[in-house]
Copies of this chain bind each other. A is one copy, B any other.
């Protein structure tokens, strides 16, 4: 994996837990919590600790291999899909959906003298499926 090489070139040790977590994230390019990653790997790596998962996720965020999302309340999500995109959260069922908008790739590089390095856009509302359920409920 190219990413492992990159991580090493940035001066970090390629430990077992790091390789395992990174491989899992690359094979599952979606949103994860530290706990969900830990759960997913605990069969294969029985003594992987949650603290290590947290520390690794922090490292991978710092180095730009994943993105942290703060769309859900009081819990960080880690997105292993780093292509620029937005997110939608359904306030009924809690589902999060990727939103692909062309203009998100070219955001302003400066606003009021502030250097802009990244943008996160979160949409909130009611998803397709919940709308259907709701409309059915209304119609009879």
Nearest residue, chain B, Cβ from A119: B123
In the bound complex, residues from chain B placing their C-beta under 8 Å from that of A88 are 111, 114, 116
Establish whether residues B117 and A124, one from each chain, have CB atoms under 8 Å apart when the complex forms.
yes
Q: How many copies does the complex hold?
A: 2
Chain A interface, >50% SS class: strand
Nearest residue, chain B, Cβ from A113: B128
Q: Interface extent on A, as a size class?
A: 20 to 34
In the bound complex, residues from chain B placing their C-beta under 8 Å from that of A15 are none
Q: Is A73 an interface residue (CB 8 A)?
A: yes
In the bound complex, residues from chain B placing their C-beta under 8 Å from that of A123 are 107, 111, 114, 116, 118-119
Q: Is A76 an interface residue (CB 8 A)?
A: yes
